[in-house]
A and B are shown apart, each in its own frame.
Chain A
Amino acid sequence: MKKLLALVFVTTTATLVVSAQGVHRDFLHKPLADSWPTYSGDYSGKRYSALTQINQRNVKTLTLAWTRRLVAGPGPSGPVPPDEPPVIAGGEGNVVFGGATIVKGSILSIDGVLYVTAPDNVWALDANDGHLLWRYFWKTKGGTHIGNRGVGMWGNYLFFVTPDNYLISLDAKTGKERWHKELASFQQQYFHTMAPVVIDNHVLVGSSNDLDMPGFLQSFEPETGELQWKWYATPQKAGDPGLDTWKDLDAAIHGGGHPWVPGAYDPETRLYIIGTGNPTPAYTSAPRGEGLENLYTCALVAINVDTGKMAWYYQTSPHDTHDWDSAQTPVLVDGEFGGRPRKLVLTAARNGYFFVVDRVTGEHLLTSKFSESANWARPELNAKGQPIRIPAKDHHIAGALVSSANQGAANWPPPSYSPQTGLFYVPSTETYALYYLTEPDPRGALGLGGKDERSVGTAGSYLTAIDYKTGKIVWKRRYRTTANTGLTAGFLTTAGRLLFAGDVGGNFVAYDPANGTPLWHTQLGANTTNAPETYMVDGKQYVLVGAGDTLYAFSLY
């Protein structure tokens, strides 16, 4: 940890020494304020910032400070400003992804520099005005280029994953590559999207795919990239715990459980709490063993960061049959529950249910249904507080009408929790689709195969506020639209008594987190594509959000 301290001071600019005096051994453990040093801002997953310069009293005068358009790829696609630095290139392949540039991840903000990503691309921007400091481009072998959730940082090192399964470390000052390591097999169709999360000397990366391969979490030494441990989400050999929840070992080995999205970390227990994805094959579930739970898929799992051993788990969807990962970022809250103070973890899953679990012991405390339309489970819960699947609502040769559609009632878009209101905020939808079974062979299909899904509409997109003590929805705001809209891209709350979010009509909005009343908005012309963030540089607080290929930073004048 001494090394981290030294490195951060070396890279600190003169103006930031003052704010960087807080950089000490638990820099990342401090409440979220001036910097945004890890995926969720801090380890808790709350996305609640202590900054108050922008607040309820003055938010009406919030103004655009700067915008920056990002163009992914090997070179500039437009006129190059004379001072634009050259692209730093790396890579093991010879494929260039030609799709649109879309910012779908967290942007780290450290020492006056922003680190932004898209698949194969990292940009370092000046946090004051968005001008480009350096850019890194990775030539890929291929793989699914659907999104990248951001970089992780340790000292002066950045960590970044690619769709063709490499973990790359860059020098944060220059963008020069330090090393890259292969994370998983390309032949087995793995691909990577997750933002690495750095905890002390562990760089944590989840590996996932859409075929019938197991999900796993790996820990790497930040200096060298050496593997420290590897945790599989499903049993991999005879004697592994959970094997009796699968039809057989072959089913478990191919059982999925992919950790797509970064987790939250509790420094007191040294547990990294992360959600796992759906079991595979996703829809044709007979090969997994009818009626069996398929551990540890669709679960909250708590992994000791030093040993890679699982301390506890709580499964939010036993034997999922709809490809509803439970891979959303959990939120850690210290608060009263059942009349006494407890250390909690909260999560709103794609299956439409909200869960509260004791994060030290894994004890289940509460389940409530936040999606009114969800119709795949019975009205009552089982003894463990889990929803009980209705097999007739898996799918049908002639179509089963199921809510939610595949996207789920919630998804990766980050929720937020404000200690000022005690409310948990989650982007949610009420959607319907026909799920057709297209592979009646009991051996099932591979991965996501064997079903055809047709959307038949939505009963709305919502900003939903839940009281974790009761599980009840305190208020929910249905966005006014006639379009068939999906989820918004995530939330930020601040100590200025504000909740920032994009809506489904291209507006970026500051709401009152107590009741959902809009206090300020601006029309961006496109829906936001990542969760808003905030940071302070040179005494000025900025609110930052991405919409497609463009970043927007707002401040007060």
Chain B
Amino acid sequence: MFSQDGPPGQAPGFVAYPQRPPGDAAAIERGKGLYGANCVFCHGANARGGDGGGPNLLRSTIVLEDQKGERIAPVIREGRGGMPPFQLSDAQIADISEFLHSFPVSSRTGPSTINILVGDPKKGEAYVAAKCASCHTTAALKAVAIKLDDPKMLQQMWLMPGNAGGRGGGPAPIPAPPISVTVTQASGEVVKGRLSRVDDFSVSLTQADGTHRTFRTAGTTTKVEIHDPLTPHKELLRIYTDDDIHNVTAYLSSLRSQS
């Protein structure tokens, strides 16, 4: 695909390919019938290839460049490779063309409804007891599971709370917990607070009384200690197996229906 562009959060490029205007419904219907009778065995009901081994027509350059049957007609009438010739009229070929052009052609696919809860909840429960229970109660995990009815979102959020919600972005339904920071200046002054932002040259925090403070750290001996409650989640990314992840998600999802 096109090279990813630098830092995230930038507007994606717009995709405006020439989706064809809606075709004539009667012609599409006639074309579908003709296609079913003549083409479907090899090219498949949705034109992506069929049992007879014919190629995917949706990505065929001949079909993509065709307007009203003029590009597909010679192939239909003369055959091609293993494809025999078909004696169809100009009008019939135009109808088949209309039918083929009724499929949207996109390099992306939409959301899926496939069930992802394939893990073993019992094993997931044991994993949670071993790895998660020191920080999380079952009641708290159940509350998270009840909040997230989409299993993909549940899986993403328990792995990494606060990470934006996948396709289309948007705020994460489970926010990341606040990060605390301790700044020790050369003078010995120690300032603690909630981290606002940090980079290689400065750190900003909010103290318990609401005071906002920024410290330049570049060129100083100021010490910055960051305490991120998500550190165990981040470290576990290197350790989980995919089975662990699927089992935990199945277990957490099962908590939704437990009384």
Contacts and interface: CB of A to CB of B under 8 A. Distances in A.
Interface stretch (A21-29, A123-131, A209-217, A222-230): A209-217
- Interface residue range, chain A: 35 or more
Interface of B: 1-8, 10-18, 44, 48-49, 55-56, 58-59, 61, 64-65, 105-109, 111-112, 114, 116-119, 152, 155-156, 159-160, 163-164, 166-167, 179, 195, 197-201, 218, 224, 226, 228, 233-234, 237-238, 240, 242, 245-246, 249
Identify which of A456, A487, A489, A507 gathers the most chain B CB atoms within 10 Å of its CB. Answer: A456
Contact of A507 (B106, B118, B199): B199
Interface of A: 95, 97, 99-100, 102, 104, 119, 141-147, 163, 185-189, 191, 193, 208-213, 250, 254, 260-261, 277-278, 282, 287, 323, 325, 327, 373, 392, 396-401, 403, 406-408, 411-413, 432, 434, 436, 438-441, 443, 445-450, 452-457, 459, 479-482, 484-489, 503-507, 509, 518, 521, 523, 527-529
A295 to B, nearest CB: 19
B114 A99 contact: no
A187 B63 CA distance: 10
Nearest to B59: A212
A449 to B, nearest CB: 4
Contacts of B200: 479-480, 503, 505, 507, 509, 518, 521
Nearest to A400: B242
A449 B108 contact: yes
Nearest to B17: A189
Contact of A488 (B6, B105, B163): B6
A46 B97 CA distance: 51
B107 to A, nearest CB: 3
A527 B7 contact: yes
B199 A505 contact: yes
Given A99-B13, A146-B2, A454-B166, A485 B199 contact: no
A449 B16 contact: no
Contacts of B167: 452
B152 A454 contact: yes
Identify whether the interface residues of A are mostly helix, strand, loop, or mixed.
Answer: loop
A392 B242 contact: yes
A287 B54 CA distance: 12
B234 A399 contact: no
Contact of A147 (B3, B152, B218): B3
B163 A398 contact: no
A144 B105 CA distance: 15
Contact of B199 (A100, A102, A479): A479
B249 to A, nearest CB: 7
B197 A505 contact: yes
Nearest to A530: B6
A185 B106 CA distance: 15
A408 B6 CA distance: 11
B41 to A, nearest CB: 14
B3 A327 contact: yes
Contacts of A261: 3
A298 B12 CA distance: 24
A401 B65 CA distance: 39
Contacts of A400: 242
A408 to B, nearest CB: 7
B198 A452 contact: no
Nearest to A449: B109
Contacts of A277: 1
A452 B7 contact: no
A333 B160 CA distance: 41
